[in-house]
Structures are given as C-alpha cells and as structure tokens.
Amino acid sequence: MSALALDVAAVRARFSALDRPTAFFDAPGGTQVPDSVIEAMAAYLRESNANLGGAFETSRRSDALVVSAHHAAARFLGCEPDEVGFGQNMTTINFALTRTVGRELRAGDEVVVTRLDHDGNVSPWLELAHDLDLVVRFADIREEDATLDLVDLERQLGERTRVVAFPWASNAVGTITDVRRIAELAHEAGALAWVDAVHYAPHGPIDVREAGVDVLLCSPYKFFGPHLGLFFGRRELLERWRPFKVRPAPDEPIGVRFETGTLPHEALAGFCAAVAYVESLGWEAIVAHERELGERLLGGLPDALRLHGPPTMDGRAPTFAVTFPTLTPELAAIRLAERGIAVWWGDYYALEVMRRLGLPDGAVRLGIVHYNTAEEVDRLLGELQRLV
C-alpha cells in the first residue's frame, strides 16, 4: 500500500475495538489491536495449546509457532532469528539483560543514560550500579525543545564507559534521537549502544544493522500486538554472555537462552499476526499518514497550551506533551475522558525529562497512530479549545 493510498476507513474496519464513540489518543501507553491478532491468539488456544518438545500434534504446532515468532521478530527488527528473544515486557527483559552484562562489569565502570529515557532504561542500570559499585552518568536534554544534547552526551563518555543506554524516541515528549550517531559515539568510547525502541516501534521501520546498535528492546503491545516484550542482541554478545537460566533449558538458538520459563505462546501467535498486519500496510503509508495528522494537530493547538518537545514534526514521533494554563494534567485528562477522548496524564515513567522540564505533575500526552483520523484530531482540538 503506497503512502497516498492509506484507506483509514479500511484500516479501522480491521479493529473491532475502534467501533465505539471513543477517540483513542492513548496509544503511547498501548495500542488497540486488529481483529487478526485476537483471532490468532484464540486460534492458538483452541487448536495448538501445549508446551514444547512433545511428539504429539499440538506440541509440534507450538514448536513451529515459536520458530515463526522468532522469524517475524527478525523481519521486524532487521536481524537474524537467533538474535531475538521474548519475555514478559521490556522492563523485565531489561532487568535480566542488565544483570547478565553486569557479570562483565567491575566496580568503577560507567554507564551513560539520558534524561530523555523511560525509567525502564534507567532504573535497571541504577540498581546494577548499586550492587556493583558502578557509576551512572546522565546525558542532558535541551530544555527549550526537549531534544537530546549530543554535546553533553559526548562529554559524559570516558575510558571507563561500558554502556550508553538511550531511547530511539521519547515516550513522553515524542523526540526522536539520532540513533546511528549515538551508537557511533558509544562504539568510539568502547561501549555498547543499548536502545529502548518501545516508543519508536509503532511509528517507523527498525533496522538494527543500519542503526549499528548492540541491544534493542521493544514491546509488541505498543505496535498493535499483545502484552509481550522483545529484544535484539548482537550475535557476538549473546554468544559471549552467560544467561541466567535453568540447566535443562536449551542453549540454541542463542537468543532463546535468555528466554526464561515457558513463554505465553498465545501472545507469540498474536505477535506474528501483529507483524503481518504492519507488513500489510507498509511503513511508507503509516509514516506519511501519521505525519499529516501530527501537522494537523500542531497547526491547531490552542495558543494557551504549552507544547513540550520539538515544535514541528521534524525529529519527533506523533506524541505531544502539553500543559494547560489553569488545569492540572490530571483534571484536563478527566475532562477529556468525560467527552469521550482517551489521553494519558502524568510522567509516564519518564521521570528525568519531567524533572528537567520542571513539570512535577507531568503533562497531558496526546498520542497519534495510523488508525486515528483527521476527524478525530479536529474533535480533539475542539475539546482542547473548550478547556482553555
């Protein structure tokens, strides 16, 4: 489907969840899922529900599903199937992987994180630093547009830097970072480039090879799939690292070594369907439609609102943090909900960016994805105008 041919009505017809009067601008906290995802999960539970490694039919189907899920993940991330793994969610996976890499770190080693990050890519490092006596340094942001300050990031790097952890896109203010440049800076310092792509994943294509990253994490429930976590690890690292696992668990493929216990196979079925759904549309169509809606929203925001983050659609995802002159973020979100518009308020676990921007109560977050319509954006703008 080309960028000029995104039939939003046809897209929405694939989502039973959208057949209601609510206008969903809550996607940064988790998207709605197409019916194909729901049907794939139900079909697995009806027809294939079994654990792995058995000689009987449902177990063989489950074995095949797990292989298919790893191949779908590889297509989605631009890597090999044995370089990916699944888990409960991004945060849980990140705690496990940081503990794994911690086996190679020594007291005094340094990790650089950013003030743009979701805390899922900060606290695992802070906890590891507490246990191993590491040093965690924070790369700053520019307050005026909430973009990452690469000069300050480079200033934080040193001979003891072992990891640079950063977001591909901010879940709070929408800022997109220069992933390839940050990865280059990390590698020049002899450090790993460790990327949280949770917020970017529903908005654009990911190619871990082109980006040059070493570890990448994302969450399928943010890109039209079920609640699940997904990671990529560069082959040389996964082969070298010693995972935390039970002894009978398989050692091959290498990514599977980091998947503890029995995975939710029905969620893997839904994940495969989510990737197929995105592939059926194509990123060109998704990106173009979201940019158009984002520009429409930015062009119509009431002057009384304060936008936090990049002022245009350049260098940002279609996620917008705004504050009101008289209403708290919580009260504004409540008022919008009463009018049938779903938005989030607060800090969204992006503690550092809210502190840096001086927003103790957080902000109201307006999130657009490709199933939103121009009419919904206009409806949102009208309600925002009424509130101010």
- 111-160 pLDDT, tens digit each: 999 999 999 999 999 999 999 999 999 999 999 999 999 999 999 999 99
138 and 244 housed in the same domain: yes
Domain containing 254 equals 40-278
217 and 320 housed in the same domain: no
- 222-244 pLDDT, tens digit each: 999 999 999 999 999 999 999 99
Q: Looking at residue 255, what is its pLDDT? A: 86
Q: Looking at residue 34, what is its pLDDT? A: 98
Number of domains forming the structure of the chain: 2
Amino acid found at 148? L
> To the nearest whole number, what is the mean pLDDT of the chain?
96
Average pLDDT over residues 48-58: 96
- 352-370 pLDDT, tens digit each: 999 999 999 999 999 999 9
120 and 253 housed in the same domain: yes
Predicted TM-score (pTM) of the model is 0.96
199 and 320 housed in the same domain: no
In angstroms, the Cα distances linking 151 to 37, 147, 168, 177, 214 are 43, 12, 17, 13, 22
171 and 290 housed in the same domain: no
151 and 298 housed in the same domain: no
- 271-281 pLDDT, tens digit each: 999 999 999 99
Is there a contact between 272 and 69 (Cβ–Cβ < 8 Å)?
yes
In angstroms, the Cα distances linking 259 to 230, 251, 274, 277 are 10, 10, 21, 25
